[in-house]
Structure 1
Amino acid sequence: MDGGHGAEDLFDTIILADERFRGEGYQEGFEKGTHRGLRDGRRHGASHGAKLSSEISFYYGFAVTWKCLLQRNPDEKSRKRLKVLEALLGLIQTSRLDDPQSEKLQDSTEKLRAKFRQVCSMLSVPMDFKDYMKTAAGTSF
């Protein structure tokens, strides 16, 4: 038996083992990275969705409250304000905000924010949803 030939077999075995372990390590790392990416993506999506939902709910509550207040006044100024509030409420109700994959989600959200700013301007209410969130976050019960 040739002693040199056994050394080559051992060398080939080491090279093959190194390649196999590298491949297994890559596969394990890829699987763990994919799992972590999905978990982090879900967490980010849920957080973003909750913030958007809170924002839209605030706009809805704001509009309904002002609508109730303005309906008590029969003057022309109140009627004009009511029309803008109705437009905001209509936009909230017709916006497709339940599909995070929708291409229209960003556009719908921007339209709602713009309409909310218009309503605040008409009502002379210096209100921004971000200011509301800062106030709400600082409140403790």
Structure 2
Amino acid sequence: MADMFDGIVMAEQRFHGEGYQEGYAEGSHIGIAEGRRYGSLHGAKMGSEIGCYLGFALTWHCLLQKCTDEKSSKKIRALESLIGMIQKFPYEDPTYDKLQEDLEKIRGKFKQLRS
């Protein structure tokens, strides 16, 4: 009689363990897919934002090349600084630990130039 109950108790534990493993595997699979979608979406937004800043900087850099006054020279240096920051930005490394910090610096430089 005790063996029969042991089998029932063990079956419950076995099914619980199998269910847990199946659920964990399914959750991991779904989590990876969701993470990729999220990363792609936010990466595209970030790329679009930085591309806009680069287009702005390159356009104004070209327009100000003909000017020789000191004020234009300062603007050109600031534009070159922004262009350099963007060129050094690690697009290919999503694990870069200062990604947000560098993006905020680029945004700050852009706001400075815009005003």
Asked if TM exceeds 0.5, the reply is yes
- TM-score, L = length of structure 1: 0.75
Q: Which ranges of structure 1 fall in alignment gaps of 5 or more residues?
A: 1-6, 122-141
Structure 2 spans left out of the alignment, 5+ residues: none
Q: Distance in 2 between matches of 1:94 and 1:35?
A: 34
1:10-89 residue pairs with structure 2 within 5 A?
10-89=4-83
Offset of residue 75 of structure 1: 2.8
The structure 2 residue matched to 1:103, chosen from 97, 105, 109, is 97
CA contact (8 A) 1:85 1:119 kept: yes
What is the CA–CA distance in structure 1 between the aligned matches of 2:57 and 2:101, rounded to whole Å? 20
Give the direction of change, closer, same or farther, for the CA distance of 1:109–1:91 in structure 2 (3 Å limit).
Answer: same
The C-alpha deviation readout for 1:56-82, integer Å capped at 9, x for no partner, is 111111101111122233333222211
Considering only CA atoms, is the larger Rg found in Structure 1 or Structure 2?
A: 1
Offset from partner CA, 1:3-29 (integer Å, 9 cap, x none): xxxx33222211111111111001111
CA distance in 2, matches of 1:48, 1:40: 12
Higher relative contact order (CA 8 A, sep 6+): 2
